Structures are given as structure tokens and as C-alpha cells.
Structure 1
């Protein structure tokens, strides 16, 4: 299996982890009744780690569709090479590192990690252009 597809699969797993982590932290803050209820009532915004993990998930969801499309196109069109393999790995590992760094509220490093993931995504895109 091409490394681009492996990194895509691991990125899907990371997305599922993001969702579960965020749900757990949100439930801890808002309570089990909120989690199992209809969630109709307006609630105050999340605070602390739960809010940061939620923002990290939203950030992941902004880039993941582009990564998935690019990774699939690279493999389908047989455009994969060492650069796309490195790009896919950079995207995944940076997105993985982004979760704890954002959750901990570390400035600047979070942005650097995000930039590395974007660079990885662009390596896949450039192989298609």
C-alpha cells in the first residue's frame, strides 16, 4: 500500500480520536445529561482544555478533506514519489503533534506545527499540478 494511503488511514484514525477526545472533554464539562439529551438548550461556550481540543478538531476538519482528496488523487494518478510520501507523513505527524500542543495551550509551537502540516499537504498538491 502506498505511504500516502497509509497516512490517509492514520489521519482518519486521528480524526476519530479527535472526535472521541473532544466528546469526552465536553461531556466532562457539561455533564452526562447533556451528552445523552437532545442538546436543545443554549449553553455557554466550552472552557479550557475542552475548548482548545474542540478548536483543534475544527482546525483538523478544515484541512483533512483537502489532504484526503490530494492523497487519493496522487495514488490514483500514480504521481506518488519520495516528496509526496514525505508530505503525507509530515501532514499526519504534524496533525498528531498538534493535538497535545493545542490542548496544552502552547503558542507559536502550535502555529509552527500547523505550518508543517500545511507544507505536507502542499507537497501532495504540487505533485498534481
Structure 2
């Protein structure tokens, strides 16, 4: 039977989640690149972009379009499914932005450690 939220696995994933958040706030591109799974199957859907594959994500990061920003996380939920798959869901408020955001990450355990295989960010209330 699949074990949900094994405490030590949740702690491992939380550490990676926190490390990525620090890198995001500091615009530490090498750490952000390290923590995304280096695969053509990796996806990142942002507020204004759809990126498929690690290379596309890296190119976007290196373009400087996001830069540094501050945000406060609210109601972060880490859920692990066994020892090798996890999700991280959080709400956030970016400094100077009116709309709150939401973010979901799917993480997988690889031979190199936990990596983000899929990420999706959106703004609540944004209409297109």
C-alpha cells in the first residue's frame, strides 16, 4: 500500500522546496537549474509562459525576465506519495502585486536527489 506523508520524506522535500524558494528570491539561476529535473519531459507553466523541457526553462531563467522579487508564502502543503514522488502547493503574495498567486510543483526522487519535474504558477483572479 502507498504510504502518504512519511515524515522523513516530507522533511527532504520541504528542504528542497525551501532551497528553491531562496534561490528564486535571490535569482540564483544555477540553483534553480539544478533543482529542475534535467529532462525534455520537464514542464514549467508560469503566469505568462509555457515552457517544455529543461533547456527551455533554463533559457527563460537566463533571459532575466523575472529578476528578483519578494513574496510571502501562505498555506504551503507538501504531500508525499511513497518515497519517490511529492507535490508542493502554496499560495503567495508578491510585493507590489494586487493579485495573489498559486503554485504547484511535482517533485520526483532522481539519482541526483529530489528534482522538480513539473511546476505551474498562476495569479488568482487574472482573466485573459
- TM-score normalized with structure 1 length: 0.27
Higher alpha-carbon Rg: 1
- Identify the structure with the greater helix proportion: 1
- TM-score normalized with structure 2 length: 0.27
- Identify the structure with the greater strand proportion: 2
